[in-house]
Amino acid sequence: MFEKVNPSHPDKVADRIAGAVVDLAYQKENNPKIAVEVLIGHGVCHVIAESSVEIDTVDVCKAVHRIAGNNMMVNFRCVKQNRRLAQNQEHGFRCGDNGIFKGVPLTKTQKKLTEIAKDVYNTYPYDGKYILDKSRFVICQSNANTSDLKERYPAAEINPIGDWTGGTDVDTGATNRKLGSDMADSVTGGGLHGKDLSKADVSVNIYAFLTAQEIHKPVELCCAIGDDTVDGRPYSEIVGIAREYIRSVGGFEKFAEWGLVR
């Protein structure tokens, strides 16, 4: 059983905005320290960040308007990272947080539903969510031609509630609220989005997920803040693996669109 949401779901819009702010930090510095939370809905977007680099409010507003629409009012608050926490990273990469992490190989069902979600989204780039398991195949797609989707997916339940309009005008979104969509059966003690690579929530999650796909069996890891080794590897290597993955998908904002299940 698996549910996938698309990049225009309000929670994913929040993830994308958080990722865009992290991208802004990486434009200023190679290894910034930043954590971003976003709450969006009904014409208002609240963005709160803790950052080691200065983030321009104008740039944040541009990112919000590009992702969520020009009519969105932006409330941006950015404070400096706590000095004691910052000291943890002064002499090289060390785990930026406690956490438990489990990477799990993707199933054919999970891969198939992701393909379907992307196919539907290419035609209808609006809020949508999709479920596939042994007994049900559900497509809930806003602003869609129901007849068209029934013809394309005759085995699916199309919009059981009827035609609907989604998005941030009718719903709210918050960062890291759709981790099931982003990670499938993998389990995390933190969120993927809105954080720099020093955070285990990002780097160890990516590392565990990629390792599980490579060895075709689950991977379970844990770490404590300040650890310089995880899974028998220097934490700096794990950060490097995650950095390369983020680069390969186009940055933190692009990563947030579909998460790890792409």
pLDDT tens digit sequence for 40-50: 999 999 999 99
Mean pLDDT (whole number) for 175-194: 94
Confidence of residue 254 (pLDDT cuts 50, 70, 90): very high
Q: What is the pLDDT of residue 97?
A: 77
The answer on pLDDT for 89 being more than 80 is no
Stated pTM of the model: 0.95
Mean pLDDT (whole number) for 20-35: 96
Mean pLDDT (whole number) for 101-118: 96
- The percent of residues above 70 in pLDDT, for the chain, comes to 97
Segments in 74-168 forming alpha helices (H): 83-87, 108-123, 146-152
Q: Which residues contact 8 (CB under 8 A, 6 or more apart)?
A: 121, 125, 126, 127, 128, 166, 167
Rounded Cα gap, residues 64 and 93, in angstroms: 30
Q: What is the pLDDT of residue 225?
A: 85
- The percent of residues above 90 in pLDDT, for the chain, comes to 88
Confidence of residue 96 (pLDDT cuts 50, 70, 90): confident
Mean pLDDT (whole number) for 128-144: 95
Q: Which residues contact 161 (CB under 8 A, 6 or more apart)?
A: 140
| Mean pLDDT of the chain, nearest integer | 94
Sheet strand arrangement including 34-41: 73-80, 44-51, 34-41, 172-174
